[in-house]
Amino acid sequence: MDKEIIKNKFEMIGARVMFSGLADRSANNKNSNNVVDVINDKKGEIFDIRTRGTVDIIVPDVQAKDRHLLLMAKVFNARTSPDPEVIKTLCGHDEREFFAAQVPRRTVSNVLAAKQAL
């Protein structure tokens, strides 16, 4: 995961992003190794990407004019499966604020397909 490349892609949609660890016993995310949320700090809204364990994150599609991007996380957990779990999240800006929404289908590969899947 190249954090600088990911930061640059978020900047393309006018957003900021930060990366942090995910607490091992988080009540809301006990079974998740990757969480994307929008929080507020002193400068305004910021995407908060929290991971635990081995997670590879890429951004396969950015639509700068539309202020949306598709984030893909590959979560590796050898205990449960030799293949990574793939989690796709549409990150963007609607009429008023930033949002992050997990995409329900694995076959989604771009922002348009992610919007249609939601």
Would you call 111 helix, strand, or coil by DSSP? helix
Sheet with 98-102, edge to edge strand ranges: 54-63, 68-76, 85-93, 98-102
pTM of this structure: 0.86
DSSP character for 25? T
CA-wise closest residue to 37 among 18, 10, 11: 18
User: What's the rounded Cα separation, in Å, for the pair 14 and 68?
Assistant: 9
| Residue 83 binned pLDDT confidence (cut-offs 50, 70, 90) | confident
Q: Give percent of the chain above pLDDT 70.
A: 89
Read off the pLDDT of each residue in 4-19 and give the average, rounded to a whole number: 96
Average pLDDT for 96-116? 91
List residues bridging with 16 in a β-sheet. Answer: none
Check the CA dihedral 98-47-91-5 and report its sign. Answer: positive
pLDDT, residue 78, reads 64
| Six-digit token string for 67 | 């202020």
Question: In the predicted model, is pLDDT for residue 30 greater than 90?
Answer: no
